[in-house]
Amino acid sequence: MHNDLQRMLTDIKNEVHFTRSYIGRNALSERVMNAMAEVPRDEFVPDHLKHQAFDNCPLPIGYHQTISQPYIVALMTDLLELKPDHKVLEIGTGCGYQTAVLARLCAEVYTIERIAELSHMAIDHFIKLQYRNIVTQIGNGYQGWPEHAPYDGIVVTASASHIPEPLIEQLKPGGNLVIPVGLPQMHQELLLLKKDLHEELTVDSILPVAFVPLIDDKIRHPAHHTLQ
Ligand code: SAH
């Protein structure tokens, strides 16, 4: 393994250790850390930022969006508790980095991105790296993807003002939903919602975070909605 990737993994482990009182554990699962070691983050960042690709920080990917911080990607993935036969829904594909990490850990990944150019960029990365278990959609992920529901896990990689109801409905009993909640520039919390086998919901606040906003196009562009 090359040095930059090794450094990234060490930085993630250190940050997990520093935040152990928030996240309730001292280390992430070995499966997740292996997936972080296998996905080449440099393939997902723009050319002019390749030299920072393995830094433990978010980076701009264009269109006012970011590739998430590796520690956050690892933590959110860990909270999903994925098994090899699981089906997962991701809202906010971006450049596809988290999608690729998820794809190494479960059977099928469905991912929705509202910015077409980013979705196309992600698809190019998936083809180059030969991922065959990822299905993409361009659209508003607030509504989820009912055709393939229910999902064993759902991860939202943009911050909403509340947990979208359609996503809770599309979560399988026994499944986990991970989502940052809070308004842009304001306090945001990473939440873990669990739906138990009796469909009872529990929500835990994990730690303060900073994400780009989840944009619910239906509300912001009503004219567009009537055309659908
Ligand atoms: N998962 C990415 C993070 C991308 S940033 C990673 O691995 O780095 C969050 C993404 O969510 C942005 O690309 C943004 O365009 C997208 N997004 C925001 N609101 C959305 C919505 N309602 N539906 C789908 N995608 C959305």
- 129-186 pLDDT, tens digit per residue, is 999 999 999 999 999 999 999 999 999 999 999 999 999 999 999 999 999 999 767 7
For residue 58, what are the CA distances in angstroms to 66, 68, 128, 131, 172? 6, 5, 22, 23, 30
**Would the pLDDT of 219 be above 60?**
no
**Would the pLDDT of 227 be above 50?**
no
pLDDT value at residue 161: 92
CA–CA separation, 152 vs 85, rounded Å?
9
pLDDT value at residue 218: 62
> Does the beta carbon of 140 lie inside 6 Å of ligand 1?
yes
CA–CA separation, 126 vs 203, rounded Å?
33
Q: Give residue 223's pLDDT band: very low, low, confident or very high (50, 70, 90).
A: very low
CA–CA separation, 158 vs 68, rounded Å?
10
> Does the beta carbon of 5 lie inside 6 Å of ligand 1?
no
Q: What is the DSSP letter of 170?
A: T
Q: Which atom of ligand 1 is nearest to the CA of 98?
A: 7
Q: Give residue 222's pLDDT band: very low, low, confident or very high (50, 70, 90).
A: very low
**Would the pLDDT of 224 be above 90?**
no
pLDDT value at residue 29: 98
Q: What is the pLDDT of residues 19-67, one digit of tens each?
A: 999 999 999 999 999 999 999 999 999 999 999 999 999 999 999 999 9
Global pTM value: 0.94
> Does the beta carbon of 167 lie inside 6 Å of ligand 1?
no
Mutational test site, ligand 1, from 43, 90, 91, 97, max ligand atoms within 8 Å of CB: 91
> Does the beta carbon of 98 lie inside 6 Å of ligand 1?
yes
Non-local CB neighbours of 54 within 8 Å, separated by 6+ positions: 4, 5, 7, 8, 41, 42, 70
For residue 80, what are the CA distances in angstroms to 6, 52, 223, 224? 24, 27, 36, 33
- Which tokens in the block code for residue 71? 């520690």
> Does the beta carbon of 159 lie inside 6 Å of ligand 1?
no
pLDDT value at residue 1: 64
Q: Which residues are catalytic?
A: 68
pLDDT above 90 covers what percent of the chain?
A: 91
pLDDT value at residue 171: 98
CA–CA separation, 35 vs 103, rounded Å?
9
**Would the pLDDT of 75 be above 50?**
yes
Homologous superfamily assigned to 3-226? Vaccinia Virus protein VP39 (3.40.50.150)
pLDDT value at residue 34: 98
Mutational test site, ligand 1, from 65, 109, 118, max ligand atoms within 8 Å of CB: 65
Mean pLDDT taken over the chain: 94
Ligand 1 center to residue 121 CA distance, Å?
13
CA–CA separation, 123 vs 93, rounded Å?
10
